[in-house]
A and B are shown apart, each in its own frame.
Chain A
Amino acid sequence: MAETYTGLRWRLIDGLIAAGRVLRPGRIAKAQPYLLLLPAVLLVSFLAVGLLWLGWLSIHAYDTFLMQAGKISAEQYALLFEPPSGPFYQQTLLRTLALSLTVTAGAVLLGLPVAYVIIRTPSRALRVALLVLLLVPFLMGEIVRTFAWYLILANRGAVGWVASLFGIEDGGLLGTPIGVFVGMMQVSTPLATLLIMPAMRRIDPNLERAAATLGASPARIWANVIVPLSWPGIVAAIIVVLLLNIAEYDMPAILGLGRLPFVANVIGDIYRLQQNLYLGSAFSLLLLVVSTLLVVVPGLLFLGWLRFRRARRAAA
C-alpha cells in the first residue's frame, strides 16, 4: 500500500518535470507579453459585445404599451430628435455638454496653479502633505461626498444661512446649475491637477528664471512658458475630466434635486421607470458618439494645425 503510494508520487513528479520541459521557461517568456494582455483583451471584448448589443437593440421598434419589440427601424432615434419628447432629450444633452465643458474649463484653470504650487514646493514633507490633501476627495465615497455638499448647499445649510444674513430667503444652491457645478468642480479640480502634474514636473525651473531675466512678467511666464510646456498634461486633463463629467450621474441627481437631469440620469429613468431598453440604448449610443466626436474632432483639428505650421516653417 505504502509502496504504491510512493510509486504514484514519483510518477506524479516525473509528470510535472515532463510538463515543465514542454512549457520551458523560454517559451513562457516569449508568450508572456501576450499572456499579460489577456485580461485587457477580455475586458475590451466584453465591452465590445455589450456595445454591439446596445446597437442592435437601438435599431428596433418597441411597442411601449404591449412592451414588445418590433422590426428593425430608426424609431428610437426619431424619438430622441422629434417632438413631443425630442426637445426634452436634446435639452438634456445640451445641459450635460454645457455643464461638463464649463466644469472642465474651470477644473483645468484652477488645477494649473494648484499643480504648480505643489510641484514647486521646496519642502518634501509639505509637498507630500499637499498631495494627500489633494487626494482626500477620492478617499471618501462619492455618495458621502455628494451628501456633504448637499448639507452645505441646502437652504438651511451653510450657503442658505450665509444668504439669509444678507436677507435672502431660501438662498441655497440645491437644484441650481451653480450647485451642480460646485459639486462637480470639487471632484474635477483635484483630478485635473493630478493629470497636469506629470507634464509640469518636467519643466526645468530655470526656464522660468530665464524668462524672467529676459523681461517676462509672471503673467507672461505663465502664458509663454508654463502653459505651453504643460500642454500634454492639460490635454490629458481636458479629455479625462470632460468624459467623466459627461457621464456624471450622482451630482445632478442629488445636488440638482432631479431638476437638472444629465443624460445619464435620463437614460437611467428610461431603463428603470419606462423599462424601455430600446430607447435607452439609442440615447446611450448618441451620448457615446457625441462625446467621442467632442474629443476626436478638436484633436484632429489640432494635429492638422500642427502639420500646417510645420509645413509653413519648412517652406520659410
Chain B
Amino acid sequence: MSQFAINIMFVGGSFLLYIAIAIWAKAGSTSDFYVAGGGVHPITNGAAIGADWMSAASFISMAGLIAAGGYANSTFLMGWTGGYVLLAMLLAPYLRKFGKFTVPEFIGDRFYSKNARLVAVICLIVASVTYVIGQMAGAGVAFSRFLEVDSTVGLMIAAVVVFIYAVMGGMKGITYTQVAQYCVLIIAYTIPAVFISLQLTGNPLPPLGLFSTHVDSGMPILDKLNQVITDLGFNEYTADIDNKLNMVLFTLSLMIGTAGLPHVIIRFFTVPKVADARWSAGWALVFIALLYLTAPAVASMARLNLMTTIYPDGTAAEPIQYDERPNWIKEWEVTGLIQFTDKNEDGRIQLYNDSEAFAPTAEARGWNGNELVVNRDILVLANPEIANLPGWVIGLIAAGGLAAALSTAAGLLLAISSAVSHDLIKGSINPAITEKGELLAARISMAVAIVVATYLGANPPGFAAQVVALAFGIAAASLFPALMMGIFSKRVNNKGAIAGMLTGLAFTLVYIFVYKGWLFIPGTNNLADTPENWVLGISPLSIGAVGAIVNFAVAFIVSNATEEPPVEIQELVESVRYPRGAGQAQDH
C-alpha cells in the first residue's frame, strides 16, 4: 500500500469518528449548545481541554522551535503549562460559581456595564479570530502535505470539517469529539517518540531518554548533541542565555495568555460543581503534560537524528551526497519547506551555521555557505520519516496534527459564536431574542467566523507564530486582568476595568505593530524587528506581560480616583468566592 493510501486511511478514519460523535451528540437546547448541559466529568473535561488547548502550535511547531533554540525555547514548555496553575487558583472555580455562559457576561455583570461587556467581546473576538487563522493555515499545510493536494484545497477541506461538527454539534459534540481528538493526537505524538527514544537511548520513555546515555557514543545524549552541533558552528543546545528579562516576560506572557484565553475558560463552566472546576484544571494539565514532557525529547532527538543523517560518518568526515539523500528529504523538497543549493558544487549537503566565528573552519573545509534550509515547522511531521519508522506511524502523525489544529479551531469558533449571539445580540442589540433565534445567530456567527478565518488562513497576515503571539498578547493584556480583579478586588469599578482593558489592549497592539507591521501588513513596521531595536530587549512576543501590568495599574488608579462599586456588586463578588449554591446556577 502506498504512503498516500495509508495517510488517507488514517486521516479519513479519524474524521469519520469525529463526525459520527458530533451527529450522535447533536445539541438540543441553548444551554446544551454552549456548555454541554453542565454535566461533564472532570477527567472527560480535562481531556477535552487538552485537545482544545494543544493546537497546531503545540503539536506541529513547538518541538521544532525547541530543537532550533534549545534551552532558550523552554519558554514555550513552561509558559503553555504554568498558565493552568493561574487558571485553577485565580479564575476557574469562581467563574464556575458565577455560573454564566460566557466570559464577557461575567465582565459585564461584575463591572455592571454594557460597555465593559462590549469591550470584552471585542478583546475576545480579536484574540480568538487571530488564533483561528493560525490554526486554519496550519491545518491547510498539513492537509496539503499528507493528502498531496494544493494548500488552498487542504484549507477548504479543513473548513468544511470544522463547519460540520462545530455548527451541527455545538459544544456537546465538541466535548466528546475533542476527547476522541485528544486520544488520536497523544497517541500520534508519543508513538514515534517512544520508537526514537528506544533507538537512540534504549529507554522506552522519551522524557527519561532525554537525560539518558546515547547508545552509539556512550555519552549522555545531550552531551552528544552539544558536541555534534558545536562542531558545526551552532550554539550549544543546553547553553544558558544572556537576555533573562525577555525570557521571563515571554514565559509570563504565555502563562497569563493561557489563563485569559476564552475558549479554555469556557470549559470550566461545563463541570457540575466548583470543586470539579479545580480538579478539571489539574486533569487538563496531566493530559497536556503527556505531550509537553515528550516534546523536549522529540526536539533534541530529532535534531541529533537530522545531523547524523547528513553526517553519517561523524562531523569530521564529509556529509552525504545529494544524490544519495533519503526519501523524506525528496518528499519535503516538493513542498518547498526543505531547500538545497549546492553552493560549493561538490554534490554534497553541507549543513552548518553560517556564523562569523565558524567562517575560518568552513573555509578550511572548502565549504561555501550552508546548503540545506530546513523549515522548523516540519520537524515533528517529518520526525517518523527521519527515523525510518513504518508507514502507519507517518499516517498516524498526519491524523494527530490535523486533530490538534481542528480541535482548537472548533473550540475557538464556539467562543466566538457565543460571544456574538449571547453577549452582542442578546446582551445588547436585541434582548428579546428567542432561544431559537439565539441558537440560529450562534450558528450563523460560527459559519461567518469560519469563512473569515479560512479566507485569512489562505493569505495569513504573517507567520503563524506571529499570529499566535498576538492572540496570547491580547488575552494576557486585556481579559485576564479584568477577570482576576473582578474576583479578587471589590474596589475595582466599571470605569477602572474599561480603562484597564482598553489601555492594556492598545499598548500591546501598538508595540507589536511597531515591529511587526500595522495589522501585520508587510513593510508598514516603524522599526526593524531585531533585538537591538527592542525597548529594554523586550521582544514583541513578550510584550503581553507588560500590557497586563499596565492593565492592572490603570484599573487600580482609575478605580481609586472614582466611586466605589455599588453594594450589590460587592455582594456579587462576595458570592463568587464561596462554592456553596453553585448547583442551581447550571439550570438555566
A, B from the same assembly: no
